[in-house]
Amino acid sequence: MVGEPSNHRLLPGTTRSLEDREARAVDFGRMTRQVPEAVATPRSVAEVANLVHRAGRAGIGLAIRGGGHSQGGRSLTDRGVVLDTTCLNRVQPVGSELVRAQGGARWGDVVDALKGARRLPPVLVDIGEATVGGTLAAGGIGTTSHRHGAQVEQVEQLEVVTGTGERIRCSPTQNAGLFNAVRSGQGQFGIITEAWIRLRPAGARFRQYELHYRDFERFVEDLDLLMESDRFDHLRAELRHRENLIVLLASNEYDELPDDDRALESLGYDELVYTRDTASVGRAGMYPSWSFSWLHYHPWRDWMLPWEALPRLLAQPMLPPDSMPRRAWSWIGLYPIGRGEVEAPLFMRPPQKRLISYSVLAVMGEFEREKAIELAKKLEDVDRELVGLGAKSYLSGSVGYSPEQWEQHYGEMLGQGIRWKREFDPNHVFHSADMPFGVGA
Ligand SMILES: Cc1cc2nc3c(=O)[nH]c(=O)nc-3n(C[C@H](O)[C@H](O)[C@H](O)COP(=O)(O)OP(=O)(O)OC[C@H]3O[C@@H](n4cnc5c(N)ncnc54)[C@H](O)[C@@H]3O)c2cc1C
């Protein structure tokens, strides 16, 4: 069984250079450090299949890594090989309805490949460096999720290399079990080597309004109104407890100059701080690539809550306001979420139709490790409180759950996940120490 110190020399195309291993020893969260024994950077799907097949036979564990923008060590290993997917990055529009993107393509590259096409994936994440495979392994939510749900609900077909090294196409009608396992599957069942992603019409330009609210009840009323009236293409909010402020970014894509009065009609914000226009429609909702430093610690967690929990979320801070560092890009954020077209059974979310996502992402300096650990602990308490309000964790990385907490998280899907693990990764090639599907290994 996989998990023993590895004899990685049996794997073709791996490198043991310290530089390459160090480059994959931390993730964006930076709270965990694990130096892999070797690194593989396959350049073709055939190479991936060969690597996985041989790893299974040799008892070598693989950690799949895309952009490494997860946390808690989900894409790390110190007892095996990191399989870095980022050389599998081809993006190819197919007519006006679909784009084919390899699993290691970054979302920023997907947007760039569609430049001028006036089509975009229904949902984009706010970090252009995350990969297609990486966010499909989690869920993928963003500024348009109030309309379109999650990215996992927007893919038509996937190509996957399973734990036995088989290369398989899957969709809702073909190998549906595998299709359901790998979407939000946390890289536990197979490597997503290519995705056929639906496209939607996109405007030529993007207009964003930054609206400030000091009256939180009024914000809730307005968000309700915006969900009902569906008048904005993009919605995203930031909670700044220390300033007693909510910042709502509401945006529309447009071809003809939009009517601001109509867009903002009957909203009760305190201040319209700016109106911003850009022609970079796909990248408008993404952080600039220079925003974050990999030298910083980023304790963070994400959840999805029933819409009805929103007033409680805002009534009092989940964390003492001083716990959040006063650093640029530290944020407590909200995205409204609706349902997409194709259900993804491992994308665990509260059952309600309308949800709100809640994220806390702290940016802490390179000499603030102790403080970062303290905050990560507090976030575990916040998790328990939010789960008590009906939340599900959004697995943007490892969450350190106990077996009981996993049972609570996955409910009936836990048994199915265990069966899928046996079916698609019987030798436990894919790194799974912190996930609950590998029981009986
Ligand atoms: C600043 C910041 C902003 C973010 N914003 C958003 C956001 O707007 N919306 C959102 O949904 N998430 C967001 N996230 C979370 C992030 O998208 C997820 O953690 C995502 O999994 C990271 O993708 P990655 O390519 O970096 O994956 P990695 O961190 O490399 O890997 C994450 C997980 O995905 C698995 N995986 C990676 N590639 C594949 C593949 N090809 N096939 C199968 N499994 C694979 C890995 O095994 C691992 O379990 C954000 C994260 C950060 C740091």
- Domains of the chain by residue range: 8-84, 91-201, 205-278
Q: Is the CB–ligand 1 distance for residue 86 below 6 Å?
A: no
Q: Is the CB–ligand 1 distance for residue 64 below 6 Å?
A: yes
Residue 158 clears pLDDT 90, i.e. is over it: yes
Chain mean pLDDT for the chain: 94
* Residues with Cβ within 8 Å of residue 182, at least 6 apart in sequence: 136, 137, 158, 160, 170, 189, 190, 192
What's the whole-model pTM score?
0.96
Pick the CATH number of 8-84 from 1.20.1260.10, 3.30.43.10, 1.10.3720.10, 3.90.950.20: 3.30.43.10
Residue 266 clears pLDDT 50, i.e. is over it: yes
Helix (H, G, I), strand (E, B) or coil at 413: helix
Compute the distance from residue 429 Cα to the ligand 1 centre, in Å: 20
Pocket perturbation via mutation, ligand 1, pick of 52, 135, 194 by most ligand atoms within 8 A of CB: 135
Identify the band that residue 6 occupies on the pLDDT scale cut at 50, 70 and 90.
low
Instruction: Give the ligand 1 atom nearest the CA of 75.
Output: 48
Mean pLDDT of 344-364: 96
Beta strand residue intervals within 326-391, DSSP E: 331-337, 355-361
Asked which of 228-232, 235-239, 433-437 is least confident by mean pLDDT, the reply is 433-437
Instruction: Give the ligand 1 atom nearest the CA of 182.
Output: 43
Q: Is the CB–ligand 1 distance for residue 397 below 6 Å?
A: yes
Instruction: Give the ligand 1 atom nearest the CA of 65.
Output: 30
Identify the band that residue 11 occupies on the pLDDT scale cut at 50, 70 and 90.
confident
Instruction: Give the ligand 1 atom nearest the CA of 394.
Output: 11
Give residue 415's pLDDT.
Answer: 97
Compute the distance from residue 380 Cα to the ligand 1 centre, in Å: 20
Pocket perturbation via mutation, ligand 1, pick of 51, 62, 64 by most ligand atoms within 8 A of CB: 64
Q: Is the CB–ligand 1 distance for residue 133 below 6 Å?
A: yes
Residue 110 clears pLDDT 90, i.e. is over it: yes
Mean pLDDT of 309-333: 90
Mean pLDDT of 276-301: 93
Percent share of the chain, pLDDT over 90: 88
Q: Is the CB–ligand 1 distance for residue 59 below 6 Å?
A: no
Q: Is the CB–ligand 1 distance for residue 364 below 6 Å?
A: no
Residue 209 clears pLDDT 70, i.e. is over it: yes
Q: Is the CB–ligand 1 distance for residue 175 below 6 Å?
A: no
Give residue 12's pLDDT.
Answer: 82
Compute the distance from residue 86 Cα to the ligand 1 centre, in Å: 13
Asked which of 7-16, 244-253, 304-313, 405-414 is least confident by mean pLDDT, the reply is 7-16
Atom 40 (ligand 1) nearest CA: 133
| Spatial separation of the C-alpha atoms in residues 56 and 81, rounded to whole Å | 12
Take residue 411 and report the two structure tokens written for it: 């409910």
Mean pLDDT of 336-352: 91
Compute the distance from residue 69 Cα to the ligand 1 centre, in Å: 5
Instruction: Give the ligand 1 atom nearest the CA of 129.
Output: 26
Asked which of 25-29, 325-329, 393-397 is least confident by mean pLDDT, the reply is 325-329
Instruction: Give the ligand 1 atom nearest the CA of 64.
Output: 47
Distance, C-alpha 435 to centroid of its chain: 17
Distance, C-alpha 157 to centroid of its chain: 19
Asked which of 103-117, 240-254, 294-308, 309-323 is least confident by mean pLDDT, the reply is 309-323
Give residue 346's pLDDT.
Answer: 98
Q: Is the CB–ligand 1 distance for residue 427 below 6 Å?
A: no
pLDDT (tens digit per residue) in 41-76: 999 999 999 999 999 999 999 999 999 999 999 999
Q: Is the CB–ligand 1 distance for residue 69 below 6 Å?
A: yes
Identify the band that residue 326 occupies on the pLDDT scale cut at 50, 70 and 90.
confident
Q: Is the CB–ligand 1 distance for residue 299 below 6 Å?
A: no
Compute the distance from residue 18 Cα to the ligand 1 centre, in Å: 24
Q: Is the CB–ligand 1 distance for residue 359 below 6 Å?
A: no
Helices (H) and strands (E) in the chain, counts: 12, 19
Mean pLDDT of 328-336: 94
| Spatial separation of the C-alpha atoms in residues 227 and 225, rounded to whole Å | 5
Q: Is the CB–ligand 1 distance for residue 73 below 6 Å?
A: no
Give residue 1's pLDDT.
Answer: 43
Atom 38 (ligand 1) nearest CA: 134
Residue 239 clears pLDDT 50, i.e. is over it: yes
Give residue 4's pLDDT.
Answer: 46
Give me Rg for the CA atoms of the chain: 21
Give residue 13's pLDDT.
Answer: 84
Compute the distance from residue 397 Cα to the ligand 1 centre, in Å: 7
Residue 341 clears pLDDT 80, i.e. is over it: no
Give residue 8's pLDDT.
Answer: 61
Mean pLDDT of 403-423: 97
| Spatial separation of the C-alpha atoms in residues 263 and 358, rounded to whole Å | 25
Q: Is the CB–ligand 1 distance for residue 186 below 6 Å?
A: yes
Atom 44 (ligand 1) nearest CA: 187
Mean pLDDT of 24-37: 94
Question: Residue 199 in contact with residue 99, Cβ under 8 Å?
Answer: yes
Architecture of the domain spanning 91-201 = 2-Layer Sandwich (3.30)
Mean pLDDT of 382-408: 96
Pick the CATH number of 205-278 from 2.40.50, 3.30.70, 3.40.720, 3.40.50: 3.30.70
Instruction: Give the ligand 1 atom nearest the CA of 160.
Output: 42
Atom 3 (ligand 1) nearest CA: 127
Give residue 5's pLDDT.
Answer: 47
Q: Is 371 exposed, middle or buried (0-12, 13-18, 19+ CB in 10 A)?
A: middle
